[in-house]
Structure 1
Amino acid sequence: MDRIVEAVDRTSSVPVSVQLRGALEFGIASGELPEGGRLPSVRSLAGRLKISPVTVSTVYAALQEVGNIEGRVGCGTFVKSMTLSANAAKLRELDGKIAELVDLAYDCGIAPSELATRVSMTPRQVHVSMRLLILGNFWEPTEAYAQALRPHLDKADRLVVGTMEDRSSLEGQQFDLVISPRSLLEPAKTYFPDTPITGVTLIPDEATRVALASLSTDERVVGYSYFDTFVTMLKAGIHRFGPHISDVQIVVRGEPDAEAAIEAADVLVYATGADYLLKSLRADQKAFEYRHTPDINAVKKELLPTIEAYRTKIMKTRRG
């Protein structure tokens, strides 16, 4: 949170409210602000940013409406979990049925060890293949997300790639679950109102982290954001993985001084979608993309249990 607050730039052409919302959205999406983490109170954050509490309250309300955060009466505001998993009541029900099964096995003269063997060899009555959609802003990075996810999915599941810029290609297709970066939850829910949607945590990929760590301390670095909501997290990310870099300026697409800033830069760090800038750079300028990849630890702990929970729901529906 400290990095995010420090990265908010009051001199930027992007309004502070837009910077703050984008910073929180991308902070949650990247795991910088982890699920279940407590956010500062409205007054505390407003005081740190030197802005009106009404502005912070409005941003919190917008994020809560989308499902990124939740307010808990008497406790505060927290990053909302996207994980859908079995609840305690269901687990207690399972324990009860196992106990009944053990008793029945004893009546049949079957020892628990033999019962365990029989259970392990019993096939599931129904196996549901899931049709999943991974939704992103641009095709190439979203396909890279899909490639990172596929080895961890059930082999029978199908993962389709879709982008916000080419939604028409998805019309008429049915999906069991839509997966998107948490920063895209709001538009995803608009375009797929009848389909369950869950978020995937993204982190800067290894190439991005290595490139930032390899920069010289005396190089002038300009970060270029394709979206104004990403400016704060781009700056915070550069400072996180390149803490030795002191001369950093962040510009956003369409900003009047963007071209001049890029012209004066030694290194351009551009957000995904802005690779068109490469053709205008001089030979002595360096550039690389600030690219994300799914956080596999979060995939295992959050996304996969959510997929299995929805698979179980579908199985119950079909049995019913």
Structure 2
Amino acid sequence: MDFFVDRELPVPLRTQLQGLIEYGIACGELAPGEALPSVRELAEKVGVAPMTVSQVYSDLKAAGLIDTRPGSGTFVSDSHQARLAGRADVSELHRQIDHLIDESRRLGIRSSDLVSLVNARAFYRDSVGPRLRIVMIGIFQDATASYAKFIAARLGRDVTVEPMTVSSIERNPAAMARANSADLAITFANRHREVATLVPNTKVVTISFTPSEETRRALASLDSLASIAVVSRFPDFLPIMKSGVQRFAPHVSEITATTLEAPGLETLLANVSVVIYASGAESVTDLLPEGMQAIEYRHAPDTADIERVIVPIIRAAGVVSQADDTSKRDAIDAKV
């Protein structure tokens, strides 16, 4: 192994030398039982004071990484770290670590921040055990949080579901790192390609979303004489949204659909009795006359898709879902 220090770095020479030897042991370049240069030899080779090398050796010995044998010299000890480096399967882990470092640099994440993220993730996994971490990636924060809560309730205590938006992942390197370290990402079918590009290290799946129970009840309870304005931020969502309103409020015949940015919106709103707005178009409520009924057309994840798409994945990972718990209880009750 080559021993060197860089005097142009803002890092003490002693720290550099100690880190170099630790890295050599961890990566297998210095194998258990291998002899290290004497204090004088290493000091001359690196160009530092013998006292510096002596202090480094003393710290490494205290850490159990090297042994000093009187009359024989200094050797790499048979430490746990050295044994790990000697395992053939750990070389793949080193490759993955290098890839993680390269990816973090591409994202502009500093080495110290990456170490903090890894430590936080390791602490989390140690504290909660083998839980599966899922990210629900949506467009609007409040709606995405409700989707994540719904999915988490269906999957049970051994799965965590974190809500994240596309914009937060794009803007925040830490959020992108969290999303890329998740076990699974869930999103909408029309956002799959976009999300898969944002989180290339995470498996991305899509599920269907249907109008929530609260939305369906609110639409079903509308007066048949009501005149409705359906409002969305996105023009391409209007046909789906209007169709859903007609499905769950078939008794209402007067329905007009428009976008949040459409000319004449305020005039339209002044001539209807109920406004149904899509998630993300909440600002339309600021334009409504006092007392006018407004209903958010909110979706919820399709329960059947959760069972069909997500549950098999978490089962394959060895995690028990809420559905599995229910099935086990039903089986026990049947036996009793």
Q: TM-score range by the shorter chain?
A: 0.5 to 0.7
Matching residue's letter, 1:136? G
Q: How does 1:159-178 map to 2 (within 5 A)?
A: 159-167=161-169, 168-169=171-172, 170-173=175-178, 174-178=181-185
Report deviation, 1:301: 2.6
What are the superposed Cα offsets for residues 190-227 of structure 1, whole Å, 9 maximum, x if unpaired? Answer: 21123210012211111111111111222110000111
* Residue among 111, 127, 152 paired with 1:150: 152
Which of 190, 206, 229 matches 1:199? 206
Compared CA separation, residues 278 and 156, structure 1 to 2 (3 A): same
Q: If the length of structure 1 is used for normalisation, what is the TM-score?
A: 0.54
> What is the alpha-carbon distance in structure 2 between the residues aligned to residue 164 and residue 264 of structure 1?
36
The aligned length equals 186
Q: Does 1:273 align with 2:280?
A: yes
Among candidates 234, 241, 245, match of residue 227 of structure 1: 234
Gaps of 5+ in 1: 1-126, 313-320
* CA displacement 1:142-194 (0-9 Å, x = unmatched): 11111111123253333221012322341222112111122321221221123
Look up the SS of the partner of 2:200 in the other structure: coil
Secondary structure in 1 aligned to 2:270? Answer: helix
- Letter of the structure 1 residue corresponding to residue 161 of structure 2: L
What is residue 136 of structure 2 aligned with on the other side? 134
Output the CA distance in 1 between the equivalents of 2:271 and 2:194: 36
- Cα distance between partner residues in 2 of 1:134 and 1:284: 35
Identity %: 28
Task: State TM-score, norm by structure 2.
Answer: 0.52
Q: Deviation per CA, 1:278-301, whole angstroms, max 9, x where unpaired?
A: 122112421110001112232123
Whether the aligned pair in 2 keeps the contact of 1:201 and 1:295 (CA below 8 Å) is yes
The higher relative CO (CA closer than 8 Å, separation ≥ 6) is in 1
1:302 corresponds in structure 2 to 309
C-alpha contact 1:228 1:253 (8 A) present in aligned 2: no
Name the SS of the counterpart of 2:237 in structure 1: helix
Point out the structure with max Rg over C-alpha. 2
The root-mean-square deviation of aligned C-alpha atoms, in Å, is 2.0
Unaligned runs of 5+ in 2: 1-128, 319-336
Q: Are 2:260 and 2:284, in contact at CA under 8 Å, matched by a contact in 1?
A: no
Q: Any idea what SS the aligned residue of 2:243 has?
A: helix
Q: Please report how far the alpha carbon of residue 260 of structure 1 lies from its aligned counterpart in structure 2 after TM superposition.
A: 2.0
Alignment correspondent of 2:246: 239
